Chain A
Amino acid sequence: MSADTRPARPGQDHPGQNHPGKERGALSIAGLNKSFVIGGRPRRVLEDINLTVRPGEFVSIVGASGCGKSTLLRLIVGLDADYAGDVRLDGQRISTTSLDRGIVFQDHRLFPWMTLEQNIELALLNTDTPKERRAQIVADHIALVNLKGFEKAYPHQLSGGMAQRAAIARALVTEPKLLLLDEPLGALDALTRVHVQNEIQRIWMTQRSTMVMVTHDVEEALYLGDRVVVMSPNPGRIRRIVEVDLPHPRDRRSPLLHRLKDEILAELTSGAGQGEEEPTNLVHLPNREER
């Protein structure tokens, strides 16, 4: 998908030419290998991962649990620098965390003693954002995730979907070039999930930063992703990369999405012949009634 088919960023002073001359969020992963030592023996969790994500692209990663997709995100965000190969953002090798890279975890990880506002502001503490502008930026991001009116709410007063949207606002408030989403909707019920998926799509279309989302929900991966990376476990490898050539915002009923979903599900379940897990455990099958 070429960048010019996308709508311009609303509310921006220079739509389509933010940070001219500066690469924004090009992620390149080359020859990445990662092992953990389990029970005294090294065990490979990621093997020869090669992936390039274009600036502004939305890439979904699907795979069975244990395929190392969350580990991959931890490496990209910089929480774990112990890997072989290369992970680079805009040419710079990733070795630690950076405000250029934001992440939303499956559990929202908002601090329970802080209000929504304070939680989001925390992300700005170590930035050079002038103090007097912070409140406005926080307010803008609360509005972005449609949580106006809940500025003073504590996390326990928010529903699961609202808390996850708040976590997205916190991750975006530093304007990262790359936003990583680690099964952000995994803990939500089906209806809330659809709602937050729509929200993520809307936010991404507004922000246009590069996003990489890990999920075990194939439909979700296809609905949001420009490309869907299908991974297989033991060790985690990229099995296939699926282009989803549909403009955003997308229609969930699109026949292409359904055809691709069947293809990916077939791919994921056929690989289960290695005798690891029941195929039904491998992938999440929403909307079974359609099949």
Chain B
Amino acid sequence: MASRPLSTPAGAGRRFSPGVMLPPLALLALWQAACLTGLFPAQVLVPPSEVARSLAAMTASGELQAHIGDSLWRLLIGFAIGAVAGLAFGSLIALSRLAETALSPLFLTLWQVPVIAFVPMMVLFLGIDEPFKIAVVAIAAFFPVALATFDGIRGVPRAWFEVARVYRTRLPDLVRRILLPATVPAVLTGLRVALTRAWVVLIAAELLAADSGIGQMMEMGRQLFRIDVVLAGVVVSGLIGFLLDRGARAIERRATRWRTA
């Protein structure tokens, strides 16, 4: 056991297996079957084949890519802002008892408010242009990252600081070699949670107020009674959220390879 090669990927045991495709395929079959019964009008319960055709058409026209691009761009900018702010704020309240006492009750209260609840106010102040959507994403990302950073720093065992004291490790080395790596797992988990949460909130915000993006595409589809477009949006946002989560997990696993036994 001691000589296990270091290059073995952590998740080697659960590689892609064809079995995971079964539930989605079953769902598709069920959906198609429900449509074939004719119990619901075809405009309301659009068959998957129709959704696939719409997706293909929107892809061919470049419309879908434009919406995805807009949404991902907002996610990227908003997430970057929210994550950096969350890291800074989480570190602050973790490292300063004064800041913790002063700020954490407000922080924890605001955290309980659904991000969407801020939307009406934000539309008033920021309009419905890019700053609004980026702000929504940033807020959605801020809280999980701040909380994870706080927990990560506070969770560093005393024992490790004692080791640093015994070897008289200097502060820069302590931060770089001990404190940062010790908090990385918690922070990465927080970033991943924040990323998927921000994506969900972004779609919701686009549904409410936007001129482009996956959410807006769905909202337009609803207004035009193009349920196929709405469902295409559901499929696309679901898939993108799934891929974001998977990508973030892969990064997380790579960065914390030392944890996996």
Contacts and interface: CB of A to CB of B under 8 A. Distances in A.
Interface of A: 77-79, 97-99, 101-103, 105, 107, 109, 111-114, 122-123, 125-126, 149-150, 152-159, 162, 174
A272 B261 CA distance: 43
Contacts of B1: 157, 159
Interface residues of B, number: 27
A159 B4 CA distance: 12
A122 B169 contact: yes
A159 B259 CA distance: 15
7 contacts: A79-B166, A102-B166, A111-B160, A112-B259, A113-B182, A153-B6, A157-B261
B2 A153 contact: yes
B125 interface: no
Contacts of A156: 258-261
B2 A159 contact: yes
State the main secondary structure of chain B at its contact with A: helix
B168 A98 contact: yes
Given A98-B168, A123-B167, A174-B167, A113 B181 contact: yes
A154 B4 CA distance: 10
Given A103-B166, A114-B177, 19 more contacts: A79-B165, A97-B165, A97-B167, A101-B166, A109-B159, A111-B163, A111-B181, A111-B182, A112-B259, A125-B170, A125-B177, A126-B170, A153-B3, A154-B257, A156-B259, A156-B261, A157-B2, A159-B1, A162-B2
A152 B6 contact: yes
Given A111-B160, A150-B2, A157-B4, A77 B170 contact: no
A105 B159 contact: yes
Nearest to A152: B6
B157 to A, nearest CB: 9
A99 B177 CA distance: 19
A221 B160 CA distance: 27
B154 to A, nearest CB: 18
B168 A97 contact: yes
A99 B6 CA distance: 32
**6 pairs of A and B residues whose beta carbons are closest in the complex:** A113-B181, A113-B258, A156-B261, A154-B258, A123-B167, A126-B168
Nearest to A125: B173
Interface string B101-113: 0000000000000
Contacts of B170: 125-126
Interface string B212-237: 00000000000000000000000000
Given A109-B160, A111-B181, A99 B261 contact: no
Contacts of B45: none
Contacts, number: 80
B167 A107 contact: no
B37 to A, nearest CB: 55
A149 B6 CA distance: 13
Contacts of B181: 111, 113-114
Contact of B169 (A79, A105, A109, A125): A125
B258 A97 contact: no
Nearest to B157: A109
Nearest to B6: A152
Nearest to B5: A157
A126 B173 contact: yes
A78 to B, nearest CB: 8
Contact of B258 (A98, A112, A159): A112
Contacts of B6: 152-154, 157
B178 interface: yes
A158 B258 contact: no
Interface string B143-176: 0000000000000000110110111111001000
A243 B258 CA distance: 45
B259 to A, nearest CB: 6
Interface centre among B162, B168, B184, B259 (most CB of A within 10 A): B168
B167 A99 contact: yes
Contacts of A103: 166
A149 B259 CA distance: 21
Interface centre among B4, B166, B167 (most CB of A within 10 A): B166
A182 to B, nearest CB: 11
Contacts of A112: 258-259
Contacts of B166: 77-79, 97, 101-103
Nearest to A163: B2
Nearest to A74: B162
A199 B182 CA distance: 31
B181 to A, nearest CB: 4
Interface in B1-51: 1-4, 6
Contact of A158 (B2, B165, B177, B260): B2
Nearest to B256: A113
Interface in B183-223: 184
Contacts of A101: 166
B163 to A, nearest CB: 5
A125 B167 contact: yes
A125 B168 CA distance: 9
